[in-house]
Every structure is written in structure tokens, then in C-alpha cells.
Amino acid sequence: MKFTLAQLKKDAFNKPFHFSGKVDVSELETMNNDIRKINPVDVQGLCTMQGEQFFFKFKITGEMTLPCARTLVDVPYSFHIEAEEIFSSSPYYGGDDDAEIHPIHGEVLDLMPYIKENILLEVPFRVFSDEADSMNVIQKGNDWEVLSEKPKEMKIDPRFQKLESLFKDIEKEK
């Protein structure tokens, strides 16, 4: 989503400038994060202008696919993000003092990096699949197996079978 300064100054001068559209952010899949797949997202918002500052308030809605924290199966995750960004076209922009105000370089304001940044900030730390099929999940491996929460009957190693009789004798003596 790119806007020219001339368009913004014309459209957002007296009243808020409304914008909306679908944005392809599939580049996020190739970055080093947990996003396996992300569909094009809907962006809706408005821009107001005050002096040489542009105030953008927008909503991002979409769906991404993340790995389950337990089983690593794909989990669809819907998100709705509300974001606010402030841009300045002033050549006297201080930079350090106003860290929340982004400078506009040139005559075009590109909103895409800020859309991607807000999506990355909203990726949850972990998600869990409600429908994890035990058929698709590996239950056993080399020297390991998944244990259920129900206790199984203890199998005694035949080498320790004689020790068990010792414990039974001690219990009888008490």
C-alpha cells in the first residue's frame, strides 16, 4: 500500500482519507519465524493530516498457519490487529526525540513495512491444535514413547522378580 504525498495532502486535508484493500504479505513466510502460510490480509483504515504529520489508524485482519506447540501440525490462526502509525514529511524531523514518528523519504509513503511489522508483533508465542489426531502424531521412536495420562500396569523386569518377593515379606512383617 503506497500513497503519494500529493494524494494524501489533497484527500486528507479537510477530512479523513479512507483506504482499504487486500495486501499480499506472503514474504513473511520466508522469514525466520513460525509462520508457515499467510493468506492475503485485509487492511482498512483512515489517514488524517495535521501540519506536516500524517496519522494513520488501520485494522489488519487475516489468517496465518502456525505449528502446534505439542505436535507440530498446522494450526490456522485468525488475527485482528488495530495499529496506529505517525509519519512526518518535515525536513526538520529530529529522529531521536520522536522515535514514534516515522520520516517520509521522497514523495511516496509505503505502508507495507509497517503492516508486516504489526503482523510479526502479533504472532503468538505458541498455539495448540484442538484436533490433533493421534494417527498423525508419532507415538513411538528410538528409545522413547509417548505416555498417556492414565497409569499403566507396572511391568516388572524379570531380573528383579525375586526382589519383589522381598518387599512382600517386609510388608507382611509390619
Position of cell 504529520?
53
Strand ranges, E, within the chain: 2-4, 17-23, 37-38, 41-50, 53-67, 74-88, 101-103, 108-110, 140-141, 144-145
pLDDT score at 134:
47
Per-residue pLDDT of the chain (174 residues; tens, 9 = 90+): 888 888 888 887 788 889 999 999 888 888 878 889 999 999 999 999 888 888 999 999 999 999 988 888 889 999 999 999 988 887 776 555 556 888 888 888 889 999 999 999 998 888 888 775 544 566 677 888 777 676 666 777 777 777 777 777 777 776
C-alpha 61/C-alpha 63 separation (Å) is 7
pLDDT score at 64:
93
Its pTM stands at: 0.70
75, 67 contact by CB (below 8 A) = yes
